[in-house]
Amino acid sequence: MSVQFDRSENDVVGEEHWARKGETNLFLWEKYLDRPRNDVGTLVFVHGSSMASHPTFDLHVEGRPFSSAMNWFALQGFDTWCLDMEGYGRSDKDRDSQFDISNGADDVAAACNYICNLRGIDKVHTYGISSGALRASLFAQRHPQRVARLALDAMVWTGAGSPTLENRRKKLPEFKAHNRRPINLDFVRSIFSRDHPGCADDSVVEAFAAAICALDDSIPNGTYVDMCENLPIVDPEKITMPTLIMRGQWDGIAAMEDLLDFFRLLPNPDKQFKVMAGISHASFQQKNYLMAYEVLHSFLTQPAPIYTGG
């Protein structure tokens, strides 16, 4: 059954924040309905390798309702947040670094500490996509006390069976030789043509690409290097909170068997594996984006088990 709304996207409020990680300034963006609230939880979105957070989670596309995942979840009572990793978007970019996955997990920790202290809460729900799933899961592994529920979309564990990573490894020497790589509109378009063309509307791809390139003309190489030669980075046996694995039907990064092996090792029996039909990579920008929202919403709002078998 589809989620229904009594209010509109125009009722959602956006608020800018800044967190500190040592000497580094991290940009945070919050959206909520009426007031910052925690009726159903606080949800932190973690972006991937090739774009900052605002285009990924708070996109506007004319004629496409709820292109902003943050708006959709805010209207369901969540206090929603996203952050730009160091080296991306509005966050600091001046440090001499490739900004790898471990650094990103530290960014998520700094952001969540800020959010929890500001809002007087102990835990947040965390959603990460692609390398953002690796950042989010490594953060959860290091700080399990901070994570209520963890959702991992387009995740990769060992990289086995991933055609996208196999092709990307051909450029590994180039990625390792430079801290950053240039991006442009054509690069963003290629994200939607490499796995299964047609999964996203052209108007969405163009709006997404324009929003990404308005913030960055280059992006760090650290996550690409990690995903090409340093996997696995996360130990599933140390992911102790309820966990959702989301996998698009045609995702060229998230190989099915690799994810199933990861899923089997998750120790918490409160776990789900969802395959999303008609979706490749970048699920929130696909034609079936509302299905992805509802998969995530169902997981985040399901009741905790009453009986656990002792």
pLDDT tens track of the chain, all 310 residues?
A: 356 677 899 999 999 999 999 999 999 999 999 877 667 899 999 999 999 999 999 999 999 999 999 999 999 999 999 999 999 999 999 999 999 999 999 999 999 999 999 999 999 999 999 999 999 999 999 999 999 999 999 999 999 999 999 999 999 999 999 999 999 999 999 999 999 999 999 999 999 999 999 999 999 999 999 999 999 999 999 999 999 999 999 999 989 999 999 999 999 999 999 999 999 999 999 999 999 999 999 999 999 899 988 7
CATH code for the domain in which residue 282 is found = 3.40.50.1820
- Cis status, amide bond into 232, omega within 30 of 0: yes
CB 43 within 8 A of CB 1: no
In a domain, 100, yes or no: yes
In a domain, 3, yes or no: no
In a domain, 204, yes or no: yes
In a domain, 30, yes or no: yes
Residue-range definition of the domain harbouring residue 149: 9-301
Q: How many domains does the chain have?
A: 1
In a domain, 45, yes or no: yes
Non-local (6+) Cβ contacts of 106 within 8 A are 21
CB 185 within 8 A of CB 103: no
In a domain, 110, yes or no: yes
In a domain, 212, yes or no: yes
In a domain, 308, yes or no: no
